[in-house]
Amino acid sequence: MNFFRTPFFLPQIYPSLIWRVATDQPVIYLTFDDGPVPGPTEFVVDELNRYQAKATFFCIGDNIQKHPEVFNKIIKSGHLVGNHTFNHLKGWSTPLEKYLQNVELCEGVINRQLADDRELQSSLVGKRYFRPPYGRITFKQIKALKDNHQIVMWDVLTHDYSKNISRSSCLAGSIKAARPGSIVVFHDSLKANRNLTYVLPKFLEHFSKLGFQFKSLPLLNRES
């Protein structure tokens, strides 16, 4: 089993969650968790721009409030944003009501930041993508969120946040695990910065040379 790829049985246990995009085209869906953070997020956006790549950023509401200018850089560069709770809560150890309130807090912050962008607001009417921090969410939380959010997990976890994985291993494992339609998780955070700044440019270069495109997740509407 590839340590960097999601075990095959998890999508079977949680079939309503998105783990990978069904396609035979050379497309990879990069996602970035835990921002926006000055430094790492700006680095990511600049690297993506170098390759005309688009991505989806799962943002923490508290970080959006603290760093609205960095959040705006994500938006102005044409990337998609998703909800990652307001305080990076772990679903397995958080009561349902508290968890839902925290998701809504993040939702409110995102909506306020996007209030001046009418085109983007209209395109996001309906559901928004949501990723549970740590990938940990209960069946009750899934059921409560499903009407207004599409929950996104991943096909490839880069482990860029881990101090126990070398930069070269992080790169090699991520490249080996990725395939057409993969949803790949990086982290635009200070904790991941050491691996992120080494791996992301080389990951982009490697797959660009193979003819891959990097896209944000498809926009959602009320029927999604």
- pLDDT, position 75: 93
- pLDDT, position 117: 64
**100 HSE (CA, 13 A, CB side):** 13
In this predicted structure, the answer to whether residue 123 has a pLDDT above a threshold of 60 is: no
In this structure, the chain runs to a length of: 224
Q: What percent of the chain has pLDDT over 90?
A: 88
pLDDT band at residue 204 under the 50/70/90 scheme? very high
pLDDT band at residue 49 under the 50/70/90 scheme? very high
pLDDT band at residue 118 under the 50/70/90 scheme? low
pTM: 0.94
d(CA 58, CA 157): 14
32-41, 114-123, 146-155: least confident range: 114-123
Rg value, the chain, Cα: 16
18 three-class SS: strand
Residue 86 corresponds to which tokens in the numbers above? 């307001």
Contact 181, 20 (CB under 8 A): yes
